[in-house]
């Protein structure tokens, strides 16, 4: 047993939109002890010191949160962040696809996957839904690196068999299917790994490949599905030309069985009321990617419309279209997107969507997302303030929401002190070189 002293913050229920009090939803326990058992699970929370003999870490005056959950991010794209000057389709051709082609090399995939996961941990993210590349080995490398770190990762080899460069296309739908089945047999349900049927986006898959992907989902209802949808107007127009019989971009996926309870669709900016109703009916979620949407000029996501349709929304960095793996920077950009559309995003709704809300949408609420007893001890410890500016802002905060909102807006990875995965410290900023501890013991 180990015990950690800090200001503990998590959620018991979904906070109402616009409610800064969120009574009964937000659970803030100042100066409490989090107890973690020897199996890496949360054993309890208490205000009094633990029994003598229990190992302690005193983080008094720091904020302790469940680890962040990033529901859409690309492991191969860290190196293309902050690439200048293009909209989505040109950006893919000029930056993303060349970077991804390099991951055909097993050594590049292994080193890149390790670097990517260590970077997530160094930003306070302990679980993620990840796109590797079209290469089978890129998924193998990612799952292997995640297993070494005991991280919850949902991923799958990317499916693309048209409208992509040489070296980034599946040879055939049947070959792609064999690769997926082999990866599913090897990794799905092993440790904390789950497999996601991973369609890049509708234009880069033939109807035959999309049908194959849908068949895999129908054959195993425990599989996830991840893709992109309605990110950019030009992309939406292109999909309409390629799939003239579909009612909408989202309908392309629905028609072949890719819209279901474990579907994670990134962006969803240019959806209509019928699309949102289809998401609700399927139980699928939209991964809101505000940093990427702003950087690429894709548009403003309408979260209240999704809320009105009772469709799930989670938070995602979408690196490399997004400009940081920091979930605080992502949430802060989310506030700006909603403000531009005339809405106000509270700290509670934002943080919930990056912790408990994401876990619920992924059907993982019994494992991650809160500080409840029995959950795996994926958690993080943060400075409330790290500069003279945010120190003064924290001093002047009048209530808890103002304090947390200021932290969400002004903090980033430099505020992170340490990250634990399944009860083991995997990142320690107090280490002289701020290195991650990767191997399981």
Task: Indicate whether 88 pLDDT > 80.
Answer: no
Q: Is the pLDDT of residue 430 over 90?
A: no
Q: Phi-psi bin for 348: left (phi > 0), alpha (psi -120 to 50), beta?
A: alpha
Q: What is the pLDDT of residues 107-150, one digit of tens each?
A: 999 999 999 999 999 999 999 999 999 999 999 999 999 999 99
Pull the structure tokens for residue 147: 């297993």
Residue 433 has pLDDT above 50, yes or no: no
pLDDT at position 245: 97
pTM: predicted TM-score of the whole model, two decimal places: 0.96
What is 2-67+372-428's CATH topology?
A: Urease, subunit C; domain 1 (2.30.40)
Give the mean pLDDT of 169-183: 96
3.30.428.10, 3.20.20.140, 3.40.50.300, 3.30.2130.10: which CATH number matches 68-325? 3.20.20.140
Pairing, β 55-66 against β 379-383: antiparallel
What does the domain layout of the chain look like in residue ranges? 2-67+372-428, 68-325
Q: Is the pLDDT of residue 70 over 70?
A: yes
Q: Which of 69, 111, 116, 67 is nearest to 320 (CA)?
A: 116
- 19-49 tens-digit pLDDT: 999 999 999 999 999 999 999 999 999 999 9
Question: CA 52, CA 283: separation in Å to the nearest integer?
Answer: 47
Read off the pLDDT band of 437 (50, 70, 90).
very low
Residue 90 has pLDDT above 90, yes or no: no
């Amino acid at each position: 047993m180990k015990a950690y002293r800090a200001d503990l913050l998590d959620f018991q229920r979904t906070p109402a939109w616009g409610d800064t009090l969120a009574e009964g939803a937000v659970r803030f326990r100042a100066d409490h002890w989090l107890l973690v058992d020897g199996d890496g699970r949360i054993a309890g929370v208490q205000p009094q010191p633990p029994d003598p003999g229990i190992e302690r870490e005193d983080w008094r005056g720091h904020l302790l949160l469940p680890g962040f959950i990033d529901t859409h991010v690309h492991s191969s794209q860290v190196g293309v962040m902050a690439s200048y000057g293009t909209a989505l389709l040109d950006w893919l051709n000029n930056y993303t696809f060349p970077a991804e082609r390099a991951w055909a090399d097993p050594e590049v995939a292994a080193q890149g996957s390790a670097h990517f996961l260590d970077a997530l941990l160094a930003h306070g993210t302990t679980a993620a839904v990840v796109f590797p590349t079209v290469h089978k080995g890129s998924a193998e490398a990612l799952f292997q690196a995640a297993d070494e770190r005991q991280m919850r990762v949902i991923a799958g080899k990317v499916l693309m068999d048209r409208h992509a460069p040489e070296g980034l296309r599946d040879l055939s739908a049947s070959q792609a299917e064999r690769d997926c089945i082999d990866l599913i047999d090897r990794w799905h349900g092993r440790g904390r790994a789950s497999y996601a049927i991973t369609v890049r986006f509708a234009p880069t898959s033939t109807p035959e490949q999309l049908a194959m992907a849908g068949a895999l989902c129908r054959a195993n209802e425990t599989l996830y599905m991840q893709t992109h949808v309605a990110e950019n107007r030009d992309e939406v127009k292109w999909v309409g030309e390629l799939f003239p019989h579909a009612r909408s971009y989202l309908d392309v996926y629905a028609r072949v069985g890719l819209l279901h309870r474990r579907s994670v669709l990134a962006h969803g900016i240019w959806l209509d009321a019928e699309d949102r109703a289809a998401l609700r009916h399927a139980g699928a979620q939209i991964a809101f990617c505000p940093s990427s949407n702003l950087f690429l000029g894709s548009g403003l996501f309408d979260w209240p419309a999704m809320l009105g349709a009772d469709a799930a929304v989670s938070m995602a960095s979408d690196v490399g279209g997004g400009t940081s793996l920091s979930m605080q920077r992502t949430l802060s950009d989310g506030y700006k997107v909603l403000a531009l559309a005339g809405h106000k995003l509270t700290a509670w709704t934002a943080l919930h969507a990056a912790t408990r809300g994401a876990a619920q949408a992924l059907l993982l609420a019994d494992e991650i997302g809160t500080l409840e007893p029995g959950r795996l001890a994926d958690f993080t410890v943060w400075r409330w303030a790290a500069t003279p500016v945010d120190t003064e802002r924290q001093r002047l905060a009048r209530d808890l929401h103002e304090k947390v909102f200021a932290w969400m807006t002004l903090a980033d990875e430099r505020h992170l002190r340490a990250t634990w995965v399944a009860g083991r410290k995997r990142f320690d900023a107090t280490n002289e070189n701020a290195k991650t501890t990767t191997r399981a013991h």
